């Protein structure tokens, strides 16, 4: 019987400093962003926006840590952590939220224990 192959790569995908990407990203693993992303991200793992990282667009993921700047719509099925250096402008839907003193959050937040898990390969799906 055929089995879907999903590599068990423990290393996260990385967008380095000085790199700018316009477009959509889908991954089954974690992604760390120290550059700039203008587009949508779907990750079954963790999305980490580094201190110098910026994301503009829509993100759907399992967990998210933001140290840098995020502007857009964010859906996190488990835990969203806004670190002290973070700046988030937009709409958030998450199961759990952690905000460190010093973080900037401007927008709306809906908390629901039943946030849907992200599905890679479904970037254009409508709710």
pLDDT digits (tens, 9 = 90+) for 45-54: 999 999 999 9
Do 83 and 68 contact (CB within 8 A), yes or no?
Answer: no
pTM of model > 0.85: no
pLDDT of res. 14? 92
Do 36 and 18 contact (CB within 8 A), yes or no?
Answer: no
Q: What does the angle CA 6 – CA 9 – CA 14 come to, to the nearest 5 degrees?
A: 115
Q: Is the pLDDT score of 9 beyond 60? A: no
Mean pLDDT of the region 82-92: 97
Mean pLDDT of the region 34-45: 96
pLDDT, one tens digit per residue, over 22-33 is 999 999 999 999
A 10 A CB-CB count for 10 gives: 7
A 10 A CB-CB count for 98 gives: 12
């Amino acid at each position: 019987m055929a089995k879907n192959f999903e590599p068990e790569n423990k290393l996260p995908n990385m967008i380095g400093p000085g790199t700018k990407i316009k477009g959509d990203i889908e991954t089954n693993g974690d992604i760390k962003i120290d550059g700039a992303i203008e587009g949508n991200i779907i990750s079954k793992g963790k999305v980490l926006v580094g201190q110098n990282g910026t994301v503009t667009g829509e993100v759907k993921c399992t967990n998210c840590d933001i140290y840098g700047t995020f502007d857009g719509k964010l859906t996190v099925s488990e835990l969203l952590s806004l670190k002290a250096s973070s700046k988030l402008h937009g709409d958030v839907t998450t199961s759990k939220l952690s905000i460190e003193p010093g973080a900037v959050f401007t927008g709306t937040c809906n908390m629901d224990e039943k946030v849907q898990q992200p599905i890679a390969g479904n970037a254009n799906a409508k709710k």
